[in-house]
Structure 1
Amino acid sequence: MTEPQREFDIVLYGATGFVGKLTAQYLAKVGGPARIALAGRSVAKLRDVRESLGDAASGWELIEAEAGQPSTLNDMAARTRVVVATVGPYTKYGLPVVAACAAAGTDYADLTGETMFIRESADLFGKEAADNGARIVHSCGFDSIPSDLTVYALYKRALADGAGQLGETNFVLRGFAGGVSGGTAASMIEVMHTSSTDPEARRAMSDPYTLSTDRAAEPELGHQSDTPWRRGRDIAPELDGIWTGAFVMGATNSRIVRRSNALLDWAYGRSFRYSENMSVGSSVVAPVAAALGTAANAAVLGLGSRYFDKLPRSLVERVLPKPGTGPSERARENGHYTVETYTTTTSGARYRATMSQQGDPGYKATSVLLGECGLALALDRDALSDLRGVLTPATALGDALLARLPGAGVTMKTERL
């Protein structure tokens, strides 16, 4: 397929938001030869952002575009190879941007953790995007790259070793320091609002394969808990002595990982089972903390999906961080995360993939991951997969990210246990 000539390599849409500014800073630092433009509702605010970035961004063009004016989005998408979108909640603002990119054959990356937005994106624009050669890549931040990429790395390692397909696979958040971003909080509100007002959405959210490319083709593996409460040793001998509980983003991340398996024609395996946990340590109160955390998560997801919309919206928004806000630079720098994903293959071989990164996961780390996804889509075209349509980070960018991320300060390794 011959690629059309474009004026820009990357347009960062939503550059005046908190994570948008951090992503712009990262691109100004490492973007090198990429032709970059900033887009958003206010050219004046975009100009302020550009001026804060120094000489590296002084020549970046500013584009006025907003979700309420589709013609501006169409023009934006037609001018660039890639749109990197940080404007959320995506359920509210994202679909017009996806529509513009699908129509123009423009690649797209975002930070969404909103499962039903991804489902709607695929249903409405997946075929058009594929027909026009566009890669629509959702969940390119801390949600859900560590989940998606560690499983992909395990698949690649087992394949290279001839060790069979992946079976029981478990993600464990081993270390974490940071907060919930305002954008993530706003996305959580939209997810709960949709679930509590739409019974069909609530049913879909309870289906572990709701993001599958072909639900009828998925294997019937019985109940799969996205966030079980378990002793570490029940996951892997290396975790003996610790307790694990629910990880709040497990429900979203697990569906992305299962979509990757389906997009790859179930290459991970027909008996692939996946769940996510977070470590709560090994103290005497750890099992209680794990149980309470898991119960609280289940209550929020279960009761919230039914009754959230009955709560005063202003009350909910008052206790959560506001979109466009975030922690101090010192807090962002001091944040970090480490994840370990364990798998046992169909031949009985055991592997572990470890991924770690410095920086607040929801802010600094996420801006690095999103920036690298945008750069990979724009500059590493030969390393990308041949798939088109609504994709996942692993299926669109897996090999490119495995090559790129170490240079961005992300530690990634796989080992046979």
Structure 2
Amino acid sequence: MASQHKYDVVVFGATGYTGKKCAAHLSKHPGSPRWAIAGRSSSRLESLRKELSLSSDVGTIVADTFDAASVRSMVTQAKCLMNVVGPFRLLGGEAIATACVEAGTHYLDLSGETLFNASLIENLGEKAKQKGVILAPSVGLDSLPFDLATYLAVQQLKKTGAQVGRVDTAFVAKGSLSGGTILSACDMAEVDRDQLLDVRPDWLSPLKGAYEPIRFGAAMWMPQFRRYGIHTPFTPHNHRIVNLSHGLLEQSKSEEAYGPKFSYRDAFVVPGPRPLVFLIGYFLQFVLLCQVHLAPVRWALRKILPPNYGLSDEKLRYPHAFLDVRAVAYPAGASGSSTAGAAEARLYIPHDGGYVGAAEMMSEAALLIAEGTGLSKLAKQGGVLTGATIGAKGLVERLTRYADFKFDIGPYKDRDSKKTK
């Protein structure tokens, strides 16, 4: 990228709940990156500097999403911009990404908004390729852990010579949602409710009509946890991001391509017998549908929840919070629930995955891109990419070294051969 960039990364929205977590991670980073905090309030940025005891070499940039000149000034200073100002459609995320493309600056965010991602692909995808600029939305809890675990399980299965079939990615987690996350979901429901529903699995993928429908599952058996799982509000967007990874790799005829038989499911696993899990699944679906279809519910949520609300630092650490994601890749043609010949990839975060973990994922992805080594062939070409397609090996190495993530990849281990499902 252009040599005039003053910083490796700039955190835009650094004074928000997740932005502070990004700044905290970078402030302690042993790699000593060149970085800056950015936001629209100089007083809040100065307060953050004092709160984190930031050194004098950490920059401060005042920029407002709706002030084009300030945005241009900000993005030209960064090799890679981390946008943490959401909801992204509502708060001008595309204008930020557009400025990045024009300046030759890479862009990442934590979007869980399918429509916003689709707009980046449609309006900026080709321009980004022409400039060699990476646009990587959804590199936080939406949807990097699921996307990356799926990629790793698929690559492990391919080592055996088997053709890839279904991948089941299940997770357990402890933590909470911030006000900003819930408010983002409210915006999605009003703009295009399909974003939150089990429809359009090919929304983001270049391969249209290539995927099985996203089927609501109230109690799906997940052998990697020996429990039943349910769909969550993350499920539709996760499907679309994972399918985007599949489509990009297939379209580029990459050696890492998943193959034409690939399909994906994910679930949050819940303890208890199947009838109880079934009821929990339908109750959660009912709550989601109320948010999607009932404007008074969204109005109440906006009144109750401040956008920067979140858990205290103590509650973000183990045992109060953790994330455990396990993807099982089955050979094509595998019968029923048989795990014979399957491969598994586990991603474990020993603290909160939604905010601290998301900040670590985004920060390490940004530093990987800014450094320029360990990037995939697709990443070197630019365009709208996913966490799994920018350089999975390099990302795994960085998350292991700098964020205490744990990865375990290998043949599937039968934990429960005697279980009757």
Q: Deviation of residue 123 (structure 1)?
A: 0.9
Match of 1:311 in 2: 296
Match of 1:373 in 2: 365
Match of 1:383 in 2: 375
How big is each residue's C-alpha offset from its partner over 1:354-373, in whole Å with a ceiling of 9 and x where there is no partner? Answer: 11102222222212112211
Match of 1:83 in 2: 81
Q: Deviation of residue 291 (structure 1)?
A: 1.5
Match of 1:278 in 2: 268
Q: Deviation of residue 205 (structure 1)?
A: 6.9
- The answer as to whether partners of 2:170 and 2:327 remain within 8 angstroms in 1 is yes
For residues 120-159 of structure 1, the aligned pairs below 5 Å read 120-159=119-158
Q: Deviation of residue 300 (structure 1)?
A: 4.5
Q: Deviation of residue 397 (structure 1)?
A: 3.0
Which letter does structure 2 place at the counterpart of 1:36? W
Which letter does structure 1 place at the counterpart of 2:174? A
Q: Deviation of residue 138 (structure 1)?
A: 0.9
For residues 222-241 of structure 1, the aligned pairs below 5 Å read 223-225=213-215, 227-232=216-221, 235-236=222-223, 238-240=224-226
Match of 1:355 in 2: 347
- The answer as to whether partners of 1:164 and 1:347 remain within 8 angstroms in 2 is no
- The answer as to whether partners of 1:185 and 1:322 remain within 8 angstroms in 2 is no
For 1:394 and 1:303, how far apart are their aligned partners in 2?
33
Task: Pick from 288, 291, 294 the counterpart of residue 281 of structure 2.
Answer: 294
Match of 1:325 in 2: 309
- The answer as to whether partners of 1:228 and 1:275 remain within 8 angstroms in 2 is no
How big is each residue's C-alpha offset from its partner over 1:314-347, in whole Å with a ceiling of 9 and x where there is no partner? Answer: 312245x421121111101131011111111238
Tell whether 2:213 aligns with 1:219.
no
Q: Deviation of residue 303 (structure 1)?
A: 5.6
Q: Deviation of residue 17 (structure 1)?
A: 0.5
Q: Deviation of residue 211 (structure 1)?
A: 0.8
Match of 2:419 in 1: none
For residues 62-211 of structure 1, the aligned pairs below 5 Å read 62-93=60-91, 94-159=93-158, 161-173=159-171, 175-196=172-193, 206-211=199-204
Larger fraction in helix: 1
For 2:408 and 2:314, how far apart are their aligned partners in 1?
28
Match of 1:17 in 2: 16
Determine helix, strand or coil for the equivalent of 1:30: coil
Q: Deviation of residue 379 (structure 1)?
A: 1.9
Q: Deviation of residue 254 (structure 1)?
A: 1.3
Shift in alpha-carbon separation, 1:252–1:404, aligned structure 2, 3 A: same
What is the aligned residue count? 395
For 1:246 and 1:264, how far apart are their aligned partners in 2?
26
Q: Deviation of residue 26 (structure 1)?
A: 0.5
For 2:64 and 2:138, how far apart are their aligned partners in 1?
21
Determine helix, strand or coil for the equivalent of 1:263: helix
- The answer as to whether partners of 2:101 and 2:131 remain within 8 angstroms in 1 is yes
Match of 1:269 in 2: 259
- What is the percent sequence identity of the aligned residues? 26
- The answer as to whether partners of 2:214 and 2:239 remain within 8 angstroms in 1 is no
Backbone CA RMSD of aligned residues? 2.2
Of 295-304 and 87-96, the range deviating more from structure 2: 295-304
Task: Pick from 337, 341, 344 the counterpart of residue 327 of structure 2.
Answer: 341
Which letter does structure 2 place at the counterpart of 1:190? D
Determine helix, strand or coil for the equivalent of 1:91: coil
Q: Deviation of residue 390 (structure 1)?
A: 1.0
Which letter does structure 1 place at the counterpart of 2:115? M
For 1:287 and 1:205, how far apart are their aligned partners in 2?
22
Q: Deviation of residue 230 (structure 1)?
A: 3.2
Shift in alpha-carbon separation, 1:293–1:115, aligned structure 2, 3 A: farther
Shift in alpha-carbon separation, 1:5–1:265, aligned structure 2, 3 A: farther
For 2:352 and 2:126, how far apart are their aligned partners in 1?
36
Match of 2:238 in 1: 253
Which letter does structure 2 place at the counterpart of 1:180? L
Q: Structure 2: state its 5+ residue gaps.
A: 252-256, 335-340, 413-421
Of 293-302 and 267-276, the range deviating more from structure 2: 293-302
Determine helix, strand or coil for the equivalent of 1:9: strand
Q: Deviation of residue 394 (structure 1)?
A: 0.6
For 1:35 and 1:253, how far apart are their aligned partners in 2?
32
Q: Deviation of residue 101 (structure 1)?
A: 0.9
Shift in alpha-carbon separation, 1:204–1:18, aligned structure 2, 3 A: closer
For 2:155 and 2:4, how far apart are their aligned partners in 1?
34
Determine helix, strand or coil for the equivalent of 1:183: helix
Runs of 4+ residues deviating >6 angstroms? 202-205
TM-score norm. by structure 1 comes to 0.88
Q: Structure 1: state its 5+ residue gaps.
A: none
For 1:383 and 1:66, how far apart are their aligned partners in 2?
31
TM-score norm. by structure 2 comes to 0.87
Q: Deviation of residue 51 (structure 1)?
A: 2.1
Of 141-150 and 358-367, the range deviating more from structure 2: 358-367
For 1:291 and 1:158, how far apart are their aligned partners in 2?
31
- The answer as to whether partners of 1:38 and 1:61 remain within 8 angstroms in 2 is yes
Q: Deviation of residue 202 (structure 1)?
A: 6.4
Match of 2:399 in 1: 405
